[in-house]
A and B are shown apart, each in its own frame.
Chain A
Amino acid sequence: MVDHFDAPTEASATMTRTQERIPTVVVDDAHIIYRVHQGAAGGTTPVAALRRLVKRTHAPNVREVHAVKGISFTAYRGEAIGLIGSNGSGKSTILRAIAGLLPVNRGAIHTQGQPSLLGVNAALLNDLSGERNVVLGCLAMGMHPDDVAKQAAGIIDFSGINERGDFASLPMRTYSSGMAARLRFSIAAAKKHDVLLIDEALATGDKGFRKRSEQRVRELREGAGTVFLVSHQLSSVRDTCERTIWLESGVIRMDGPTDEVIRAYEAYANSK
Chain B
Amino acid sequence: MATTALVDPDTGLTQAQLAARHGLRVAGERPSLVEYSRRLWAYRHFIAAYANAKLVASYSNAKLGQLWQVLTPLTNAAVYYLIFGVVLAQNSIPNFIAYLTTGLFIFNFTQSAVLAGTQSISSNLGLIRALHFPRASLPLSTTITQFQQLLASMVVLVGIVLVTGEPLTWEWLLLVPALLLQAVFNAGVVLLVARLGAKSSDLKQVMPFIMRTWMYGSGVLYSVSLFDRLPGWATTLVQYNPLLVYIELARYALLEEAPLLNESLAQLWLVGAGWALVAGIGGFIYFWRGEQEYGRG
Contacts and interface: CB of A to CB of B under 8 A. Distances in A.
Q: Do A and B bind each other?
A: yes
A50 B2 contact: no
A97 B153 CA distance: 45
Given A108-B16, A136-B46, A142-B43, A26 B205 contact: no
A8 B200 CA distance: 62
B114 to A, nearest CB: 15
Contacts, number: 168
Q: Is the interface of A mostly helix, strand, loop or mixed?
A: mixed
Contacts of A35: 297
Interface in A103-160: 103, 108-112, 114-119, 121-125, 127-128, 132, 135-137, 139-142, 144-145
A115 B131 CA distance: 9
A52 interface: yes
B24 A110 contact: yes
Interface string B17-54: 01100111111110000000000001101100110011
Contact of A142 (B57, B133, B296): B133
Interface in B40-81: 42-43, 45-46, 49-50, 53-54, 56-57, 60-61
A23 B202 contact: no
A142 B297 CA distance: 25
Contact of B10 (A21, A108, A123, A127): A21
A10 B130 contact: no
A115 B27 contact: yes
A138 to B, nearest CB: 9
Contact of A40 (B54, B130, B202, B209): B202
B15 A111 contact: no
B8 interface: yes
A49 interface: yes
A262 to B, nearest CB: 26
Contact of A53 (B19, B23, B206): B206
B202 A112 contact: no
A96 B128 CA distance: 12
B82 interface: no
Most buried by A among B46, B295, B297: B46
A271 to B, nearest CB: 33
A229 to B, nearest CB: 16
Contacts of A128: 53, 56-57, 60
Nearest to B43: A142
B55 to A, nearest CB: 11
Given A49-B202, A122-B126, A26 B131 contact: no
Interface of A: 2-3, 8, 10, 13-14, 16-17, 21-29, 34-35, 37, 40, 44-46, 49-50, 52-53, 59, 72, 74, 96-103, 108-112, 114-119, 121-125, 127-128, 132, 135-137, 139-142, 144-145, 171, 184, 188
15 contacts: A17-B6, A21-B10, A28-B14, A49-B205, A52-B202, A72-B15, A103-B292, A109-B26, A109-B27, A112-B23, A136-B50, A139-B50, A140-B133, A145-B45, A188-B130
Interface of B: 1-2, 5-6, 8, 10, 14-16, 18-19, 22-29, 42-43, 45-46, 49-50, 53-54, 56-57, 60-61, 126-127, 129-133, 137, 200, 202-203, 205-206, 209, 292, 295-297
